[in-house]
């Protein structure tokens, strides 16, 4: 009876812990196997503890090159998609123009369409235009599918903004440029930041569209997929764990900053 | 404020109008708001009062006409270059800035570097010195209202525009803030232009009230003048309550008009008649409920001869505390409202009693009968949504 009562009282916590375990377990496995020293080419069975991979993360040929390429692509794609997407979002939220309904629904297409269809269509387009596959084709593709996420995030924020805030700024001697920089942009910032973070993650992570439009260029996801055919170097686990740690640190920093702001 | 660098400026609107497509929000309007006055634009929602205010602020472009502030034509100036500041209806405080930075915003935009002393003084004026580092959303409605006021006043505008500034506050706080606003206005000497739909608020605070209806100013004057001598049925009904009775002019003698209404004979000073005073012409006779006295029918002889009188039967009475409000039905079916102070309550004044209603001719006013007799009755208590 006591046990049942205890379970009943702590059911929410138990469910929460189970969900957390479900989410975190794969990451824990990745972390653990980053310290493995496999016997063969495949890092699937635990042999013995070693820090070899951590001390030499670039020890596998082409790994760090593909990682650096993916990071560069993610940065540029984020920048391009965020700038363009923010402008589109403002245009859609603030102005009434002839093609507005069309743009409004077309902007969701990259989100709704199966990725593989979009990938194949893009590849066809580039081929027909005679554009050589490589860094630029990947970047164009990435900016395209990141756009819809930025537009969605920023538009929601801009739509919910009280137009009187900008009028109040103008009334308090702010020129149109100052109004935008001092009031509009800071208030829209959380939406823009959310869109940028999403873009970075999506771009860094993307495999299907990239694979169709990369030519002989190899990004990090393509490298991981390619090497999985022939064997999985421990270094992949190292990079994966490091990415996970960076993401967790970012979230923690955000939480701390938010908590401090609330307290002051 | 310790050192007013400027005093209030006057506002002059010449032929200002605003149309949206085929809808006319404000008909061509001439208005002069004297420097240093507390001016109220009063009207129901959609009467054009907020549009007029926004045109003075520069947030709406007038379709025709010119706006002068302290003699300078500002019609073509964008809002950030006009020496006016606005207190918005929803306050429009910047959510990403704390109270201190909200108040300092106007000073910083004009390139003033050392704002600390001025912001401190201004926050003290509105009694929010301890809240400088809070965010707007952490403050109550009344506190946010005071921040909005401080944020505008710190710039020493020539004219302060207030758009329903007390609309979101509860009744008690609103009464308190009305007195507070009036005190601050007297202290800083800035011209205040106040938009409101609350007639009591307008009368409490303003030196001059312009009653707006359908994009036009119906009447303009001091609160007491508007109340005692309304010029239109809208003003008579929108500002307080009026009894309006259809009557006919039967005779003129000296400065007085003799009327018949509902079988009774009434006297109206010719100077208080807003309709053409021809013998035989129709006129609407008005009298405020609190000006009327009730006397039981059996005491008719005690009513002084000079007073206007009508007979009726008490249909309803409700005790309010300071007064008792009666509804009296006249023989021809009209219902008149009567407010009696509870000084000496006559126990015979109960529903069903036959009474004489009587009032001084000086409290009677006459209106043009061509107007809608009910204009302004059903909207006087309506709140405004946005």
Q: In which domain, by residue range, is A104 found? A: 62-235
Task: Please check whether residue A95 lies inside any domain of the structure.
Answer: yes
Q: What pLDDT sits at residue A262? A: 66
Is some CB atom of chain A closer than 8 A to the CB atom of B110?
A: yes
Is some CB atom of chain B closer than 8 A to the CB atom of A128?
A: no
Residue of B86, B96, B151 with shortest CB distance to A186: B96
Task: Please check whether residue A170 lies inside any domain of the structure.
Answer: yes
Residue A55 to chain B, least CA–CA distance (Å): 45
Closest-CA residue of B relative to A165 is: B92
| Residue A157 belongs to domain with CATH number | 1.10.3720.10
Inspect the interface and report whether the beta carbons of B106 and A173 lie closer than 8 Å.
yes
Residue of A162, A171, A186 with shortest CB distance to B86: A171
Residue A50 to chain B, least CA–CA distance (Å): 49
Task: Please check whether residue A78 lies inside any domain of the structure.
Answer: yes
Task: Please check whether residue A44 lies inside any domain of the structure.
Answer: no
Task: Please check whether residue A251 lies inside any domain of the structure.
Answer: no
Between residues 65 and 104 of chain B, which touch chain A (CB distance below 8 Å)? 78-81, 84-86, 88-90, 92-96
Cα–Cα distance for residue pair A211/B97, rounded to 1 Å: 46
Q: What pLDDT sits at residue A264? A: 55
pLDDT in tens, A100-118: 999 988 988 888 889 999 9
Encode chain B in three state secondary structure: CCCCCCCCCCEEEEEEEEEECCEEEEEEEEEEECCCCEEEEECCCCCCHHHHHHHHHCCCCCCEEEEEECCEECCCCCHHHCCEEEECCCCCCCCCCCHHHHHHHHHHHCCCCCCHHHHHHHHHHCCCHHHCCCCHHHCCHHHHHHHHHHHHHCCCCCEEEEECCCCCCCHHHHHHHHHHHHHHHHHHCCEEEEEECCHHHHHHHCCEEEEEECCEEEEEECHHHHHHCCCCHHHHHHCCCCEEEEEEEEEEECCEEEEEECCEEEEEEHHHECCCCCCCCEEEEEECHHHCEEEEHHHHHHCCCCCEEEEEEEEEEEECCCEEEEEEECCCCCEEEEEEECCCCCCCCCCCCEEEEEECHHHCEEECCCCCCCCCCCCCCCCCCC
Task: Please check whether residue A261 lies inside any domain of the structure.
Answer: no
Q: What is the overall mean pLDDT for chain A?
A: 90
pLDDT tens by residue, chain B, 386 residues: 344 445 678 999 999 999 998 899 999 999 999 998 999 999 988 889 999 999 999 999 999 999 999 889 999 999 999 999 999 988 999 999 999 999 999 999 998 888 899 999 889 888 888 999 999 999 988 899 889 999 998 998 989 999 988 887 888 888 888 888 888 888 888 899 999 998 888 998 999 999 999 899 999 999 999 999 999 999 999 998 899 988 888 888 878 888 888 777 888 988 888 877 788 888 899 999 999 999 998 888 888 888 998 889 999 999 988 899 999 998 888 889 999 998 887 888 989 999 999 999 999 999 988 888 888 776 544 443 33
Inspect the interface and report whether the beta carbons of B155 and A173 lie closer than 8 Å.
yes
- Chain B residues near residue A165 by CB distance under 8 angstroms: 92, 94-95
pTM for this predicted structure: 0.79
Domains and CATH numbers, chain B: 11-233 (3.40.50.300), 242-367 (2.40.50.100)
pLDDT tens by residue, chain A, 264 residues: 788 899 888 999 999 999 999 999 999 999 999 898 888 777 878 888 888 888 888 888 888 899 999 999 999 999 999 999 999 999 999 888 998 999 988 988 888 889 999 999 999 999 999 988 999 999 999 999 999 999 999 999 999 998 899 999 999 999 999 999 999 999 999 999 999 999 999 999 899 999 999 988 999 999 989 888 888 888 888 998 999 999 899 889 988 987 877 665
- Chain A residues near residue B110 by CB distance under 8 angstroms: 173
Q: How high is the ipTM of this complex?
A: 0.79
> Number of folded domains in chain A?
1
Task: Please check whether residue A248 lies inside any domain of the structure.
Answer: no
- Chain B residues near residue A189 by CB distance under 8 angstroms: 96
Is some CB atom of chain B closer than 8 A to the CB atom of A183?
A: yes
Residue A183 to chain B, least CA–CA distance (Å): 7
Inspect the interface and report whether the beta carbons of A171 and B57 lie closer than 8 Å.
yes
Inspect the interface and report whether the beta carbons of B80 and A183 lie closer than 8 Å.
no
Inspect the interface and report whether the beta carbons of A162 and B90 lie closer than 8 Å.
yes
In sign, the C-alpha dihedral spanning A233, A236, A237, A239 is positive
């Amino acid at each position: 009876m006591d046990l049942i009562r205890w379970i009943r009282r702590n059911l929410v916590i138990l469910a929460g812990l189970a969900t957390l375990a479900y989410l975190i377990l794969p990451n824990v496995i990745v972390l653990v196997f980053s310290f493995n020293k496999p016997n063969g080419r495949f890092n699937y069975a635990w042999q013995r503890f070693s820090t070899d991979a951590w001390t030499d993360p670039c020890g596998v040929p082409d790994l760090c090159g593909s990682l650096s390429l993916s990071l560069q692509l993610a940065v540029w794609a984020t920048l391009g998609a965020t700038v363009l997407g923010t402008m589109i979002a403002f245009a859609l939220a603030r102005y009434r123009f002839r093609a507005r309904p069309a743009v409004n629904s077309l902007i969701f297409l990259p989100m709704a369409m199966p990725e593989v269809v979009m990938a194949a269509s893009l590849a066809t387009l580039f081929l027909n235009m005679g554009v050589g596959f490589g860094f630029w084709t990947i970047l164009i593709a990435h900016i395209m599918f990141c756009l819809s996420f930025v537009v969605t995030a920023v538009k929601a924020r801009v739509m919910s903004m009280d137009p009187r805030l900008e009028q109040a700024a103008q009334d308090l001697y702010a020129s149109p440029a100052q109004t935008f920089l001092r009031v509009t942009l800071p208030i829209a910032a959380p939406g823009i930041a959310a869109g940028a973070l999403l873009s970075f993650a999506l771009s860094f992570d993307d495999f299907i569209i990239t694979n169709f439009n990369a030519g002989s260029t190899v990004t990090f996801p393509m490298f991981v997929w390619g090497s999985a055919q022939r064997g999985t170097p421990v270094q992949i686990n190292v990079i994966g764990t490091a990415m996970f740690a960076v993401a967790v640190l970012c979230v923690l920093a955000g939480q701390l900053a938010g908590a401090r702001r609330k307290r002051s | 404020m310790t050192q007013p660098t400027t005093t209030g400026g006057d506002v002059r609107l010449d032929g200002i109008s605003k149309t949206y497509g085929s809808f006319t929000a404000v008909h061509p309007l001439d208005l002069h708001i004297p420097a240093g006055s507390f001016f109220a634009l009063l009207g129901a929602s959609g009467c054009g009062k907020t549009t007029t205010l926004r045109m003075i602020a520069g947030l709406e472009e007038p379709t025709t006409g010119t706006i002068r502030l302290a003699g300078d034509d500002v019609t073509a100036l964008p809002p950030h270059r006009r020496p006016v500041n606005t207190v918005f209806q929803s306050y429009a405080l910047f959510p990403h800035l704390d109270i201190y930075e909200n108040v300092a915003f106007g000073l910083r935009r004009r390139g003033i570097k050392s704002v600390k002393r001025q912001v401190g003084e201004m926050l003290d004026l509105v009694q929010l010195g301890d809240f400088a580092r809070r965010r707007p959303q952490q403050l109550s409605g009344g506190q946010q209202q005071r921040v909005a006021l401080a944020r505008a006043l710190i710039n020493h505008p020539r004219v302060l525009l207030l758009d329903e500034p007390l609309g979101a506050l509860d009744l008690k706080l609103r009464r308190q803030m009305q007195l507070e606003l009036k005190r601050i206005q007297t202290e800083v000497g800035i011209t205040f232009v106040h938009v409101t739909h609350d007639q009591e608020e307008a009368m409490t605070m303003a030196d001059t009230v312009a009653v707006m209806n359908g994009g036009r100013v119906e009447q303009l004057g001091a609160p007491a003048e508007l109340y005692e001598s309304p010029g239109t049925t809208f003003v008579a009904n929108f500002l307080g309550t009026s009894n309006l009775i259809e009557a006919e002019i039967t005779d003129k003698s000296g400065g007085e008009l003799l009327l018949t209404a509902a079988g009774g004979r009434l006297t109206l000073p010719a100077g208080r008649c807003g309709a053409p005073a021809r013998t035989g012409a129709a006129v609407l006779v008005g009298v405020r409920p609190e000006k009327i006295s009730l006397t039981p029918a059996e005491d008719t002889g005690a009513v002084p001869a000079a007073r206007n009188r009508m007979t009726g039967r008490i249909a309803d009475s409700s005790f309010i505390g300071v007064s008792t409000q009666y509804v009296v039905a006249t023989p021809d079916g009209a219902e008149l409202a009567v407010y009696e102070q509870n000084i000496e309550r006559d126990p015979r004044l109960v529903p069903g009693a036959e009474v004489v209603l009587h009032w001084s001719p000086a409290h009677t006013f006459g209106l043009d009968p061509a107007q809608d007799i009910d204009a302004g009755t059903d909207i006087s208590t309506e709140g405004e949504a946005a």
